[in-house]
A and B are shown apart, each in its own frame.
Chain A
Amino acid sequence: MTHALRGSAVIRGVAESELGEVGPHRFPLDLLGEAVAGALADAGIAKSEVDGLFTAVGGRMMSNLDVGEYLGIAPSFTDGTMIGGSSFVSHVHHAALALQAGACKVALIAYGSTQRTDQRRPGRLPYPPELPSYEAAARPVHPVTGYALAAARHMHEFGTTREQLAEVAVAARRWAQLNPKAFKRDPLTVEDVLSARVVATPFTTLDCCLVTDGGGAIVMTRADAYTDRGTAPVYVLGAGEAHSHRSISQMPDLTTTSARESGRRAFEMAGLRPADIDVLELYDAFTINPILFLEDLGFCAKGEGGAFVEGGRIAPGGALPVNTNGGGLSFCHPGMYGIFALIEAVRQLRGDAGERQVAGATTALAHGNGGQLSSQVTAILSSEL
């Protein structure tokens, strides 16, 4: 039986703000606003029509209030779900539910960050305290320590190699070289990744995502509304969420993420299998992430992710296109990347991806990750019902 939510909502507009390093006179909400203006124009929908607001901005206790005020939007439905980088994929799920229930008619998902510029600002923004910590005395460096521990365990259990991790970074860079908006586009080899400075074994600096500024926005409506406007709609066929822990020492098994559950839920709703997916956008905060997610989402067996990415399989020209914009490793990573995975999936399904376009792509999977492999949210999108 077809799931009631399957294909009921569509993404009508997407946009990024200026990305990279935007300078000291702009703040996260400025970039968020730029992206919102772009996404509304793309959708052919006026700001005054937005009545559903979905947002998460790092370090803000009341993101939705800040964002609603800045944009001049007084929503009838508001959702500030904050589960790190996976928040925006979760917002797509929640927006589809709200649209179907009639809680709103036009849903706006929005994000902005000046993480890179913030490093250069005097008197950095105070973040809310997260004490007590039962890990802090061991002096982990968040978030890299947690992901390094997961990678080390994966190597121990399954024989995953240092070179296989590096292949993920190299594939991302090769995609980035086809994307004029990507932050890092210079050539990169496995040897370059291995010989870079070690941050936390087994990772070098080139196993870690970028630190950039950037914003993004997405406009959604019901599939049966606003059919006369904007670009061709992209259907939300399936979505699934799961989270299992916050701190890495509480993660039940460092080699299996709850993407197993989020993926199963999304595929069940969509009525599809991994073999049906043409292009994947997997949140690559670190090189181990796509390996774990390929396994947990069912594209290969547990433990085989390292071998799976070998030989340029996920790079341009490979059998399975993954992170076609260059990902968090080479395109853009302002702290919570999930919205950019969604935007790229939409561009691929519309055939708007230029040189990096995957020919004939009609189904895409966008996967968000949050915390320390803590939160996993999967969305399956298609240009066809």
Chain B
Amino acid sequence: MRGGKAARSALLRWGVLAVAIGAWQTATRTHDSVYFPPPSEIARHTHNLWFSGPPTHAFLTPEATVNILPSLARMTTGFALAAAAGIALGTALGRSHRAYALCNPVLQFARAIPPPALVPVFVVIFDFGTQMQLASIVLSAIWPVLINTAEGARNTDLLRIDVAAVLRLTTAERLWLLFLPSALPRIFAGLRLSLSLSLILMVFSELLPGTANGIGFTLTDAQSRSDLLTVWAALVLLGALGYVLNTGLLAVEKRLLGKGRPA
């Protein structure tokens, strides 16, 4: 019974998506607008542009290795740095009420700054290039993790802290067994926000004039040549990338939180 229901719901979802893409296809074919190419052409262009390389290069074309891989490297490095620093600083802040009160207003202000406004600052300091892009990603994505971790660690059950004191757990044990597990749901809420911020800042920092490579560079470059097919292909790629990254993080979250979840 349940299986039948799930199958019907999947059919409905994918069916509607297929119909929508079909409608887009026919509409663009009949109207023939330069700005809205048919999805079949976008798909073919995406394939030719990036995924028609030799098997030895995992089917990636030189175009893909030059533009997609550096973007991914910058994004994952930036996100990893922001996550590590955010969790470490957040735990440190969350364990002391004084430290939290001391830093809270500054943190709230830092978080309130719309991240793109900071990018020109880094352009002045680091000039264009990977350093500037990494700084933009890290200093935009760190706040949600930091603040959420601090709030999570702050709300550790007082009873558990007392038990830890009775058991004479060391600081490391307390961190690992007590503070981190109880902060984990909040940490993941922060990580999700940070991940999408990393993607946004990765693209944004590459859209600026003066960048040499990346998916964002592909976008502006295609825009300046009015190459609408490449613009659409880059958008599809970024959407797929965002979907894959988010799904991956959700899977990790499910695994980690499913086990040993604090009551």
A, B: real partners: no
Task: Give residues in A with beta carbon < 8 Å to B.
Answer: none
Task: Give residues in B with beta carbon < 8 Å to A.
Answer: none
